[in-house]
RNA sequence: GCCGCCUUAGCUCAGUCGGUCAGAGCGACGCACUCGUAAUGCGUAGGUCCCGAGUUCGAUUCUCGGAGGCGGCUCCA
């Protein structure tokens, strides 16, 4: 009997009992089939009217299947070598997969080598993945020695991306069957899987690292040991991924910070607290100064506030209710408790309420580079991106309800414009909404604020991603996510609408008709934190800052000592135009000076010898090694001054 | 905070199965060389081998505790 199907958009008739794999033909690049929109194993038997398409490892969903199947191979290898290991979950994730195990001893780095070796044996042995439907009773019996799997059966659960064991319409077990037809391993899993381990390229699989994790991500549960691995359709994919990791390591701001003498984290000061050295300090100053200039032009006013305050202020703001564990513990002084500030907003509110405000003053935009201290847990502190003390480019805008949409719209434009000047160009927006468990205020206020933010985000013509329940306790937020030079995304600016703090601080302004009205607050930080933004730029540029940001923009390199005077004259000219330039007068020979400047990633090297002096000229060497000899001094200065003024990368 | 790994000179890293084991390169400093596009040569200085306690005749090495770092988990207002 034949049945009718649609295969890759074309009608086709096949014998009943045919599998999806047979329908799609003898094509080893096909891993699974999409049948009526659902992913199925290739040995799935097709039914009349099915719409069938091939799914390959190049498709995101196919790649996930490949990685999920590799996770099964990992689990089999681990149980081969560690028979007592109990299985947790093992889903595909970005760039790879993991599998969680309960073992008596955490895995050691050497264990990974052994496990990987065993995995390769399994891959080469060509085991088939075979799906088998089981009843709940059968599953309980079969998985009696796997307590975590049993727990999952009880939970059933939805179609989660993380828990792949259950969630289908029926309970299924996948058996791994060797060439002799014997079942050598089984796992509760909703699938689908590649047809056999031969479909997983053994030269494109690698175990990466181990980690302790909490069962079902709950820190009250027991800890399991997770093994992370990566798998790709081809060897080249693995190579490219490993290269990406190397590139990221090369750009690591902690490494560059030391190499370029920008900042450090003295142990004596404490974890997560950075000091900026002169080279880093000048970069930071230039970053801040440009920001100040732009803020002035955009109608902001500058304020300054202290770093510590009595507890009452944070009681009033709600921080001590909602955020106490993120704050440094209090200091007792003069019968009062003082706290280091984790946020600037309460202080700015006090400036607002220092005197009566008129509607004519709104929007009032108070800006500060405000240093805050947050007690980050010891395990999360990480370089400049996650510090315990950092400086926010923080502003609070006080406006009327009517002004809010226009204010948010111009604010978003301002943010994106400014970030572009620092060299970031690829953005998307994220809208974080209320977490009912962790928030104050009425539903109506939240809805209104969220809606207005949504409208403002929409107006930007950028991708908008929703982050449900990700907001701070006092209001919804838009964050600007920027992609860096190697495609990583970083959260940059945050913009939050807040109806709550104005109430808590009883902020008011006098309206045109003489009534007292409550303003709305917009919290916003564009860099997020200066330290973090500094780190992002450092990694984005791999240390090679554009001319305007580079700690030293120009180094003059004399061919011999007698050429120093000539270069000093050129450097003086540059300095008089605000360019950070210096002459290398060290005892090193000229090629060594070039090497040093190159390693310091200096944008312009100006070299001068007898030839240049004779022509009243200098010779350029650029970061990419190119050179232009005998450039008249005035032209050279003009070129450099222009590169700085235009914020150009060179 | 939890788990694993790590901490030797300013930096990058050797090394000691407990006993001249304190080493290299770079950097710094000094001397000579006066030099045309990524390292001139020679020499000198520099370390409580992260900190504390314990075991031992003897600890940088072993054990325990602490600090700091790295990778994850959780967290990131």
Distance B29 C1' – A547 CA (angstroms): 32
The pairing of beta strand A30-35 with beta strand A51-56: antiparallel
Do the bridges between strand A86-87 and strand A489-498 make them parallel or antiparallel, or are there none, so unpaired? unpaired
pLDDT in tens, A227-256: 999 999 999 999 999 999 999 999 999 999
Catalytic residue, candidates A523, A524, A580, A593: A523
> Taking a C-beta distance cutoff of 8 angstroms, is the pair A332, A268 a contact?
no
A217 touches strand B (CB under 7 A): yes
The answer, yes or no, to whether residue A158 has pLDDT greater than 70, is: no
pLDDT band at residue A168 using 50, 70 and 90 as cut-offs: low
CB A610 within 8 A of CB A584: no
Kind and range of the H or E run holding A445: helix A443-458
Peptide bond into A363 cis (omega under 30): yes
Is A184 catalytic? The answer is no
What is the average per-residue pLDDT within A50-71?
93
Residue A250 covered by a domain: no
Please tell me what DSSP assigns to residue A95: T
The answer to whether the beta carbon of residue A212 comes closer than 7 angstroms to any atom of strand B is: yes
pLDDT (tens digit per residue) in A562-588: 999 999 999 999 999 999 999 999 999
The answer to whether residue A394 is catalytic is: yes
pLDDT band at A440 (very low <50, low <70, confident <90, very high): confident
Is A545 among the domain residues?
no
- Span A200-223, mean pLDDT? 89
Is there a contact between A353 and A383 (Cβ–Cβ < 8 Å)? no
List of A residues 453-482 with CB within 7 A of strand B: 470-474, 477
Angle of helix A235-251 versus helix A530-540 axis, rounded to 10: 130
Catalytic residue flag (residue A345): yes
What percent of chain A shows pLDDT beyond 70? 99
Q: How confident is the model at residue A472 (pLDDT cuts 50, 70, 90)?
A: confident
What is the pLDDT, as a whole number, of residue A121? 94
Residue A159 has pLDDT above 70, yes or no: no
Determine the distance from the C-alpha atom of residue A132 to the mean position of all C-alpha atoms in its chain, rounded to a whole number.
40
Q: Which of A210, A245, A280 is the last residue of a domain?
A: A245
Distance A151 CA to B8 C1' (A): 49
Give the burial class of A17: count Cβ atoms within 10 A of its Cβ; 0-12 exposed, 13-18 middle, 19 or more buried: exposed
Does residue A70 lie in a domain region? yes
- Considering the domain architecture, whether residues A388 and A485 belong to the same structural domain is answered as yes
Single out the residue in A208, A223, A245 at which a domain terminates: A245
Q: A252 an active-site residue?
A: no
The integer distance in angstroms from the CA atom of A105 to the C1' atom of B65 is 22
Of A74 and A111, the one with more pLDDT: A74
Query: To which residue do tokens 């995304």 refer?
Result: A489
A251 located within any domain = no
> For chain A, how many residues are written?
650
Examine residue A549 and state whether it is found in any structural domain, yes or no. Answer: no
What pLDDT, on the 0 to 100 scale, is given for residue A9?
86
Q: What is the mean pLDDT of residues A3-10?
A: 86
Is the residue at A650 inside a domain? no
Residue A453 parent element (H or E): helix A443-458
Q: What is the mean pLDDT of chain A?
A: 92
Q: If you write DSSP's letter for every residue of A143-176 in order, what string do you get?
A: TTT-HHHHHHHHH-----SS--SS-SSSEEEEEE
Q: Are residues A561 and A508 in the same domain?
A: no
Among all strands, which nt has the closest C1' to A383 (CA)? B69
How far is Cα A49 from Cα A171, in angstroms, rounded to an integer? Answer: 25
Tokens 């091939």 — which residue?
A54
- Assess whether A234 carries a catalytic annotation: no
Q: Give the residue whose CA sits closest to B73 at C1'.
A: A213
pLDDT band at A445 (very low <50, low <70, confident <90, very high): confident
Distance CA A63, CA A94 (A): 10
The answer to whether residues A77 and A48 belong to one domain is no
pLDDT bin (cut points 50, 70, 90) of residue A157 is: low
CA of A375 to C1' of B1 (A): 12
pLDDT band at A399; cut points 50, 70, 90: very high
Query: Is residue A167 domain-shared with residue A74, that is, in the same domain?
Result: yes
Containing structural domain, residue A197: 60-245
pLDDT tens profile A351-360? 999 999 999 9
A228: the nucleotide nearest its CA (via C1') is B72
A49 touches strand B (CB under 7 A): no
Residue A221 — very low, low, confident or very high, per pLDDT cuts 50/70/90?
Answer: confident
pLDDT per position as a tens digit, A121-145:
999 999 999 999 988 889 899 999 9
Question: What pLDDT score does A219 carry?
Answer: 77
Residues A238, A263 within the same domain: no
Q: Please, which residues bridge with residue A99 across strands?
A: A227
DSSP 3-state of A504: helix
> What's the mean pLDDT in A323-342?
91
As for how many domains chain A has, the answer is 4
Which residue shows structure tokens 């994220």?
Answer: A430
The single residue of A394, A484, A584, A612 carrying the catalytic annotation is A394
pLDDT band at residue A156 under the 50/70/90 scheme: low
Where does the pLDDT of residue A323 fall: very low under 50, low under 70, confident under 90, or very high at 90 and above?
confident
ipTM: 0.94
For residues A490 and A493, what is the distance between their CA atoms, to the nearest angstrom?
A: 10
Does the pLDDT value for residue A522 go beyond 80?
A: yes
Do A288 and A350 share a domain, yes or no?
yes
CATH classification of the domain holding A73: 3.30.980.10
Residue A77 has pLDDT above 60, yes or no: yes
A459 and A320 in one domain?
A: yes
When pLDDT is averaged across residues A197-214 and rounded to a whole number, the result is 92
For residues A180-192, give the mean pLDDT.
Answer: 91
Instruction: Decide: A405 and A457 in contact? Cβ < 8 Å.
Output: no
The set of strand B positions with any atom below 7 Å of a protein CB reads 1-5, 11-12, 27-40, 67-77
The tokens describing A169, both together, are 């319409």
Residue A44: burial class (beta carbons within 10 Å; 0-12, 13-18, 19+):
buried
Active site residue A374: yes
Tell me which residue has tokens 């860096």: A484
Question: What is the distance between the alpha carbons of residues A203 and A575, in angstroms, rounded to a whole number?
Answer: 56
DSSP-H helix ranges across A263-341: 278-297, 311-317, 319-322
Number of neighbouring beta carbons within 10 Å of residue A179:
10
A252 is a domain residue: no
Lowest model confidence (mean pLDDT) among A21-35, A281-295, A597-611: A21-35
Check whether residue A223 has its CB closer than 7 Å to nucleic acid strand B.
yes
Cα diameter, chain A? 97
Same domain, A324 and A338: yes
Q: What is the mean pLDDT of residues A500-521?
A: 95
Mean pLDDT along residues A462-466: 92
Residue A368 has pLDDT above 90, yes or no: yes
pLDDT for res A26: 80
- What is the arithmetic mean of pLDDT over A158-187? 83
Final residue before a domain boundary, out of A494, A517, A540: A540
Q: Does any strand B atom come closer than 7 Å to the Cβ of A266? A: no
Q: Beta carbon of A104 within 7 Å of strand B? A: no
């Amino acid at each position: 009997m034949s049945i009718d199907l649609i295969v890759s958009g074309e009608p086709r008739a096949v014998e009943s009992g045919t599998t999806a794999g047979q329908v799609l033909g003898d094509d080893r690049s096909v891993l699974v089939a999409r049948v009526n929109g659902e992913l199925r194993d290739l040995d799935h038997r097709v039914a009349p009217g099915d719409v069938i398409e091939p799914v390959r490892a190049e498709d995101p969903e196919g790649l996930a299947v490949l990685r999920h199947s590799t996770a099964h191979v990992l689990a089999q290898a681990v149980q081969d070598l560690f028979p007592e290991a109990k299985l947790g979950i093992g889903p595909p994730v970005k760039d790879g997969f993991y599998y969680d195990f309960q073992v008596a001893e955490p895995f050691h780095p050497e264990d990974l080598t052994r496990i990987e070796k065993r995995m390769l044996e399994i891959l080469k042995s060509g085991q088939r993945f075979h799906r088998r439907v089981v009843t709940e009773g059968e599953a309980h019996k079969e998985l009696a020695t796997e307590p975590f799997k049993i727990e999952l059966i009880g939970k059933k659960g939805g179609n989660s991306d993380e828990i792949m064991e259950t969630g289908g319409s029926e309970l299924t077990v996948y058996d791994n069957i060797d060439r002799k037809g014997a079942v050598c391993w089984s796992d509760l899993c909703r699938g689908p899987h590649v047809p056999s381990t031969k479909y997983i390229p053994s030269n494109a699989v690698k175990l990466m690292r181990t980690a302790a994790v909490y069962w079902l991500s709950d820190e009250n549960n027991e800890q399991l040991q997770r093994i992370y691995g990566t798998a790709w359709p081809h060897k080249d994919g693995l190579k490219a991924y490993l290269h990406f990791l190397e590139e990221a390591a090369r750009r690591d701001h902690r490494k560059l910070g030391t190499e370029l003498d920008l900042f450090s984290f003295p142990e004596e000061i404490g974890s997560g607290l950075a000091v900026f050295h002169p080279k880093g300090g000048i970069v930071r100053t230039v970053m801040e100064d440009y920001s100040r200039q732009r803020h002035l032009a955009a109608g902001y006013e500058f304020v300054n506030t202290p770093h510590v305050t009595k507890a009452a202020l944070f009681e009033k703001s709600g921080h001590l209710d909602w955020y106490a564990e993120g704050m440094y513990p209090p200091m007792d002084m003069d019968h009062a408790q003082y706290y280091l500030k984790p946020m600037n907003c309460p202080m700015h509110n006090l400036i607002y309420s220092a005197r009566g405000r008129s509607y004519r003053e709104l929007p009032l935009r108070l800006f500060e580079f405000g240093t805050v201290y947050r007690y980050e847990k010891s395990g999360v502190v990480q370089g400049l991106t996650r510090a315990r003390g950092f400086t926010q480019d923080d502003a609070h805008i006080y406006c009327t309800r009517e002004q809010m949409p226009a204010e948010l719209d111009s604010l978003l434009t301002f943010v994106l414009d400014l970030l572009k000047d620092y060299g970031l160009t690829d953005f998307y927006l994220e809208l974080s909404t209320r977490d009912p468990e962790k928030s104050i205020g009425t539903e109506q206020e939240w809805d209104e604020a969220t809606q207005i933010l949504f409208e403002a985000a929409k107006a930007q013509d950028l991708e908008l991603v929703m982050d449900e329940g990700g907001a701070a306790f006092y209001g919804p937020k838009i964050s600007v996510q920027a992609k860096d030079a190697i495609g990583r995304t970083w959260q940059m600016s945050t913009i939050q609408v807040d109806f709550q703090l104005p109430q808590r601080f009883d902020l008011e302004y006098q309206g045109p008709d003489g009534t007292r009205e409550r303003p709305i607050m917009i919290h916003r930080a564009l860099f997020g934190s200066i330290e973090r933004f500094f780190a992002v730029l450092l990694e984005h540029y791999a240390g090679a800052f554009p001319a305007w940001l580079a700690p030293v923009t120009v180094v003059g390199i004399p061919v011999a000592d007698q050429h120093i005077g000539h270069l000093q004259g050129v450097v003086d000219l540059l300095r008089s135009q605000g360019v950070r330039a210096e002459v290398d007068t060290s005892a090193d020979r000229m090629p060594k000076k070039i090497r040093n400047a190159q390693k310091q990633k200096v944008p312009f090297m100006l070299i001068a010898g007898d030839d240049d002096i004779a022509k009243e000229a200098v010779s350029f060497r650029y970061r990419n090694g190119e050179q232009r000899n005998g450039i008249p001094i005035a032209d050279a200065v003009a070129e450099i001054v222009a590169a700085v003024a235009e914020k150009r990368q060179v």
